[in-house]
A and B are shown apart, each in its own frame.
Chain A
Amino acid sequence: MVFQRQQPGQWKAGALALLVHVLFLGLMIFSVSWQNQEPSGIQVELWSEVPAPAKVAAPAPPRKPEPKPEPKPKPEPKPEPKPAPPEPKPEPKQLKADIELKAKEEEKKKRREEELKQQKEKQKQEEEKRKQKLEEEKRKQELDKKLQQEKQEALRQQQAQIEAENARKAEAVAAGQRMLDDYRGRIQAKIKRFIILPPDLAGNPQAEFDVTLMPTGEVLHLKLTRSSGSGAYDNAVERAIVKAQPLPLPPDPGQFSKFRELHLKFKPREDL
């Protein structure tokens, strides 16, 4: 006997399963997308950075209006299409038959007058709205123009700043080079003071060392890269380097990276 029975509600179950997933997906999409607003915050920060070059050409005024007009243009057009205030409905009071005709006529007149008034008011309001719209558009255009001008100015200032910075950088590089040479000389001089020359030294051999320094001026690592040919002189220089600690370093810790690894050359009779 083949036992098979239709399971109840297969299609219904499938539809419900689909519904659950659509709901879940919608929830995820709408609840996660709020993070989209973050980039706008970053934009504001960027704007606040632009006025920094103001030192060059004194564009103090454009700084303030800049962040303000940005958010404004968006909300402005919104209030325009406000629905007209609902017309006060004419009171539908029905006059009873026994009231005099005069009263009726007066009522009608009044009503007409009221309607006329209302129409006039409406027209007025519409005109005002139109005027407001025009003004707002004008204002917007002006704002746009201003914004563009300001942007261009900011760009120009940025360029100027970049140029100035480049010049400054070049100067700094030159100064750094000078300082580098200066301190190298000082280090060599200090080490030289500690060298005790071996008595039987022939010629003027050169010993080369690789020295790794700590930021405090102490020697972390020391290695002879090229012997002078005289072991006694090599040893003397090595001892001198160790004794000369701490070696003189520039006071600016940012400069230390240039002194971390030094290649030093020593000759017994350099000044000759």
Chain B
Amino acid sequence: MNVNQDLSFLSLITNASVVVQLVMLGLLVASMISWWYIFQKMFAINEAKQTTDKFERDFWSGLDLQTLFQKVNSRDAGGMESIFEGGFQEFSKLRRQTGADVALVMESTRRAMRAAYHRELDLLEAHLPFLATVGSVSPYVGLFGTVWGIMNAFRSLSSVGQATLAHVAPGIAEALIATAMGLFAAIPAVIAYNRYSSEIDRLATRFDSFMEEFSNILQRQAK
């Protein structure tokens, strides 16, 4: 066996067995997609936060609800804006119909806001389960590749009479790359998942309390 084996990273990968290479490829793809989602979620959550902040400032600045609605309706609303939009639209439609009961109007307004709220949260929470899956599974996948590679290394060792570290080392090194890749995919995914789910929870709380406050305001107007 060749003792002066090239131990560079690339040669380790190209010399690995097919199963280990497949595992590495899968992990690379998973890592790519999870990073893509991580950045995408980062942008989406940041934008939702910013628009919510801005809208809350506008809303509590004492602006007339009708003008605020027109302002919001003119642009592609997101976050808290769309809840406001949905609720106010329903409210003004029902108000125009004469003889509508206040309790009924408030009920359907709340329903409309709830629908918008769920849609917003669904949009924010999309792809988060993927991050959770990558975070929990990819270390095991990497471990599988490593175990497979080490099994092969030891099997090839049995055909050699005198076993030295130099015979096993390349096989184990190339096998361990699979674990490294699994961890590289998993760690950011877990961190991002925890961070984003807590941020989305906080946003959901803000939406919830806004819905309560806004329905109070509408109820006062309806009387």
In the complex, whether A86 has a CB less than 8 A from a CB of chain B is no
Contact A16 B8 (CB under 8 A): no
Shortest Cβ distance from residue A36 to the other chain B in the assembled complex, whole angstroms: 6
In the complex, whether B38 has a CB less than 8 A from a CB of chain A is yes
Chain A residues with CB under 8 A of B39? 9, 12-14, 16-17
A72 to B8, CA, bound (A): 26
Contact A18 B32 (CB under 8 A): yes
**Residue of B whose beta carbon sits closest to that of A42:** B4
Binding stretch for chain A, among B40-48, B59-67, B102-110, B130-138: B40-48
A226 to B47, CA, bound (A): 94
State which of B8, B78, B180 has its C-beta within 8 Å of the C-beta of A29.
B8
Contact A36 B7 (CB under 8 A): yes
User: Given contacts A3-B119, A17-B35, A17-B36, are A35 and B8 in contact (CB under 8 A)?
Assistant: yes
A-side interface residues, number (CB < 8 Å): 24
In the complex, whether A8 has a CB less than 8 A from a CB of chain B is yes
Shortest Cβ distance from residue A182 to the other chain B in the assembled complex, whole angstroms: 31
The winner among B36, B37, B78, B180 for most chain A CB atoms within 10 A is B36
State which of A3, A9, A16, A28 has its C-beta within 8 Å of the C-beta of B35.
A16
In the complex, whether B6 has a CB less than 8 A from a CB of chain A is yes
Contact B38 A5 (CB under 8 A): no
Chain A residues with CB under 8 A of B140? none
Contact B123 A13 (CB under 8 A): no
Shortest Cβ distance from residue B138 to the other chain A in the assembled complex, whole angstroms: 14
User: Given contacts A8-B47, A17-B35, A21-B35, are A28 and B9 in contact (CB under 8 A)?
Assistant: yes
Chain A residues with CB under 8 A of B8? 29, 32-33, 35-36
In the complex, whether A175 has a CB less than 8 A from a CB of chain B is no
In the complex, whether A116 has a CB less than 8 A from a CB of chain B is no
A12 to B44, CA, bound (A): 12
Shortest Cβ distance from residue B20 to the other chain A in the assembled complex, whole angstroms: 16
Chain B residues with CB under 8 A of A16? 35, 39
In the complex, whether A199 has a CB less than 8 A from a CB of chain B is no
**Residue of B whose beta carbon sits closest to that of A16:** B39
A8 to B36, CA, bound (A): 12
A10 to B78, CA, bound (A): 17
In the complex, whether B18 has a CB less than 8 A from a CB of chain A is no
In the complex, whether A88 has a CB less than 8 A from a CB of chain B is no
A33 to B180, CA, bound (A): 16
**Residue of A whose beta carbon sits closest to that of B45:** A8
Shortest Cβ distance from residue B203 to the other chain A in the assembled complex, whole angstroms: 15
In the complex, whether B144 has a CB less than 8 A from a CB of chain A is no
Chain A residues with CB under 8 A of B40? 7, 9-10, 13
Contact A29 B10 (CB under 8 A): yes
Contact B35 A38 (CB under 8 A): no
Contact A5 B7 (CB under 8 A): no
Chain A residues with CB under 8 A of B119? 3
Chain B residues with CB under 8 A of A7? 40, 43-44
Contact A21 B32 (CB under 8 A): yes
In the complex, whether B31 has a CB less than 8 A from a CB of chain A is yes
Residues of chain A in range 17-57 having any CB-CB distance to chain B below 8 Å: 17-18, 20-21, 24, 28-29, 32-33, 35-36, 38-39, 42
Chain A residues with CB under 8 A of B3? 42
A156 to B32, CA, bound (A): 58
Chain A residues with CB under 8 A of B28? 21
Chain A residues with CB under 8 A of B4? 39, 42
State which of B9, B32, B42, B76 has its C-beta within 8 Å of the C-beta of A5.
B76
A35 to B173, CA, bound (A): 12
Contact B9 A17 (CB under 8 A): no
In the complex, whether B196 has a CB less than 8 A from a CB of chain A is no
Contact A9 B36 (CB under 8 A): no
Contact A5 B36 (CB under 8 A): no
A123 to B28, CA, bound (A): 59
A38 to B40, CA, bound (A): 43
Shortest Cβ distance from residue A5 to the other chain B in the assembled complex, whole angstroms: 7
Chain B residues with CB under 8 A of A8? 43-44, 47
In the complex, whether B184 has a CB less than 8 A from a CB of chain A is yes
15 contacts between A and B (CB under 8 A): A3-B119, A10-B40, A13-B37, A13-B42, A16-B35, A16-B39, A17-B35, A17-B36, A21-B28, A21-B31, A32-B7, A32-B8, A32-B9, A33-B9, A42-B3
- Interface set of B (CB-CB < 8 Å, partner A): 3-4, 6-10, 12, 28, 31-32, 35-40, 42-44, 47, 76, 78, 119, 123, 180, 184
Apart from A3-B119, A16-B35, A20-B35, 10 more pairs, CB < 8 Å:
A8-B43, A12-B43, A13-B39, A13-B42, A13-B43, A17-B39, A18-B32, A29-B9, A36-B6, A36-B8
